[in-house]
Amino acid sequence: MSMTLEAIQVRIENTKTVPPVGPEVQGEATMSQVLTALHADHVNLARLLEALEHQLAVFDAGEAPDYEIVSGILDYCLGYQDRFHHPKEDAILVALERREPEAAANLRILGEEHEKLAALTRQFADVVQQILQDQEVRRDWLDENARNFLEFYRHHLEWEESEFFPKALEALSEDDWNAIDARFAAADPLFGAETEARFERLAEELLSLDGESREA
């Protein structure tokens, strides 16, 4: 079962169990705030996967997809997701292993999944780069890489939302969350306050797809 935007958004509401930050703790990150930020990254990633699936539908119809959009999605995953989002989740697992070793034992596949995601993303990005360089690439090879990337990313989101995040929410202390948040502060180059120029075309596509979804 794939993790949809709606399912992730429901989970965001379900993790808002910590009271808002009061004046006496301003500047500190509550467990709810840290997890909500990670959930928000998942919502954004789900939107990117839907945008990629839209491009694959164009490809399957025998037309040329917008490789600038596809390349932008992979660039974002290799940059922000692999360098900031996934290491933050890895740090959560380390803290969880310290607090609840038994609970963490069944979650140690997290690192393996992150490594597999990075490998799938790099391989898919290499295929797209070959196309952008006008090299000959078999259609079935492009389709296989795209499908593997999509399917495993969606599996990974579902597993984190249903298994990993709930366990972390139960076990980690406020100090744990604050320490994790302080180590991995980073501006999102696509969904942050300012979109970097290299992602402007992709941002426009996401807005267009959002509009189509609302009209449907």
Give the pLDDT band (50/70/90) at residue 214. Answer: confident
Contact 66, 52 (CB under 8 A): no
**51-68 tens-digit pLDDT:** 999 999 999 999 999 999
By mean pLDDT, which of 26-30, 58-62, 135-139 is the weakest?
Answer: 26-30
Q: Which amino acid is at 181?
A: D
pLDDT score at 182: 86
Give the pLDDT band (50/70/90) at residue 196. Answer: very high
For 114, list phi and psi in degrees, rounded to 5.
-65, -40
pLDDT greater than 70 at residue 25: no
- Residue 158 CA: distances (Å) to CA of 36, 47, 122, 152, 175: 16, 14, 22, 10, 27
Give the pLDDT band (50/70/90) at residue 100. Answer: very high
Buried-exposed string 74-105: b where 16+ CB fall within 10 A, e elsewhere: bbbbbbbbbebbbbbbebbbebbbeebeeebe
For 173, list phi and psi in degrees, rounded to 5.
-90, 170
pLDDT greater than 50 at residue 26: no
Map out the domains of the chain as residue ranges.
27-215
For 20, list phi and psi in degrees, rounded to 5.
-55, 155
pLDDT score at 60: 92
* Residues in contact with 49: Cβ distance below 8 Å, sequence separation at least 6, in sequence order: 150, 153, 154
Indicate the pTM of the whole model: 0.85
Nearest to 200 by CA among 79, 70, 75, 72: 72
Mean predicted confidence (pLDDT) in 110-114: 97
pLDDT score at 176: 93
State which fold the 27-215 domain adopts.
Four Helix Bundle (Hemerythrin (Met), subunit A) (1.20.120)
User: Could you say which DSSP state residue 198 is in?
Assistant: G
Positive or negative, the Cα torsion across 5, 51, 57, 146?
A: negative
